Amino acid sequence: MIKRKKILTVLILLSCIGIFFGAPKYKASTSFYSEYKKIPSSSSLSFFDQIISGKGQLSFNIENLLESDQFLSEMVNTRFIINEQESSLADHWFNREESTFNPITYIKKLDISLHLKPNITKDELNQYKAKEKLKEMLKYDEDRKTGLHILSVVVKKYPDLSIQIIEQAYNSIVLYANKVTNTKAREKKKFIESRLITIKSDLVQSEGELVDFIVENRSFSQSPLLSLKKERLERDIALQSQLFIRLSDELELAKIDEKDNTSSIFLLQEPHVSTKKAGGNALINLIRAAITYSFFVFIFEAFLNRKKLFSF
């Protein structure tokens, strides 16, 4: 029993060393709003306007972007300034030899090797591990009521690196948002151009039908049926003319949006490092460690003395 207490004491002391003398953790974060324009529904043409305008919230999910392989690959291969040297996250985190044997690290390596393709290169392995690590480190939160987005990351030892990661991630979000806007504008322009051709053709045809009707029925005012037919032709022309004018306006806007680099994302808080180090309260962490180690020592002690426990 005394031996078990010594083991527990040693584990707690090691935890104290890790808590008080371990590598400090720094949290960097930024916050921003995404543009939202609510479309009124009172107009009879509001549904049509909504289709051709494409305005509203972001046309992509930021959380899905942050978890995408393309985003993570770009991030872990980007060159950052780390300890006054330029390096990628993949190289900084994993491209170094481990001098000591760590059973937990060895088990993780074995688990990874069982789930990856055979003959994977060292660079591919480092990039894969870096992407998984970055995915766990990046934290994203969204307030759907206000449209506020918060992005944060916790990095050991290097506060400047945490800011660089947040800045790069934010810039990637802005660039992707602009790309989506420009792409949607191109698609909308093509759609509007095709509709304009169709509507113009229908408009010319309707105008021709009206002319033919008037020529063939000069006394249409004396016939209620002919008068109704003339009014119907005039309504068709008026509607098609209105649609043609509206689509022409939307086409000009789409051409502007296609070349527009104005972001629909508005920065609220510049990327910054929190004044308080990450990692939580040292005393609380120490108490948690003591409780955890005591629990495992108790389980181990119960396992060794299981015969005595079940002999009664």
4 and 116 share one domain: no
Q: Which pLDDT score is estimated for 258?
A: 83
56 in a domain, yes or no? Answer: yes
Is the Cβ–Cβ distance between 93 and 191 less than 8 Å? no
**Residue 100: inside a domain, yes or no?**
yes
Is 311 a domain residue? no
Whether 19 and 29 share a structural domain? no
Shared domain check, 301 and 205? no
Q: CA-to-CA distance for 243 and 203, rounded, in angstroms?
A: 10
Residues 120, 154, single domain; the answer is yes
Q: What is the pTM of this model?
A: 0.67
Coil vs helix vs strand at 148: strand
283 found inside a domain = yes
Co-location of 131 and 164 in the same domain: yes
Q: Strands, E, within the chain: which ranges?
A: 25-34, 79-82, 85-88, 139-143, 148-156, 265-273
Residue 236 in any domain: the answer is yes
HSE (side-chain half, CA atoms, 13 Å) at 166: 28
Q: Which residues contact 172 (CB under 8 A, 6 or more apart)?
A: 65, 71, 74, 75
Examine the domain organization and report whether 19 and 41 are in the same domain. Answer: no
pLDDT computed for residue 308 by the predictor: 60
Q: What pLDDT shows up at residue 37?
A: 46
Same domain for 68 and 149, yes or no, is yes
Do 17 and 29 fall within a single domain? no
Q: Which residue has the tokens 């790069």?
A: 168
Give me the tens of pLDDT residue by residue for the chain, a chain 312 residues long: 555 556 556 555 555 655 454 568 899 999 999 865 444 444 444 444 544 454 445 668 999 999 999 999 999 999 999 988 999 999 999 876 554 445 556 566 666 666 777 778 888 889 999 999 999 999 999 998 888 999 999 998 899 999 999 999 999 999 999 888 888 888 999 999 999 999 999 999 999 998 998 888 888 777 888 889 889 999 999 999 999 999 999 999 888 888 877 778 899 999 999 877 766 555 565 666 667 766 666 666 666 666 565 555
CA distance 264 to 178: 8
Contact predicate 72/64, CB 8 Å: no
Question: Is residue 169 located within the same domain as residue 282?
Answer: no
Asked whether residue 312 is assigned to any structural domain, the reply reads no
pLDDT reported for residue 51: 47
Q: What is the pLDDT of residue 141?
A: 95
Residues 17 and 159 in one domain: no
Same domain as 243, residue 126: yes
Q: Is residue 164 part of a domain?
A: yes
Number of structural domains in the chain = 2
Tell whether 157 and 232 lie within a shared domain.
yes
What pLDDT was estimated at residue 30?
A: 96
Residue 265 belongs to some domain of the structure:
yes
Write out the residue range of the structural domain in which residue 241 sits. Answer: 25-276
How confident is the model at residue 147, as a pLDDT?
86
- The CATH number that applies at residue 153 is 3.30.1890
The DSSP annotation for 171-199 comes to: HHHHHHHHHHHHHHHHHHHHHHHHHHHHH
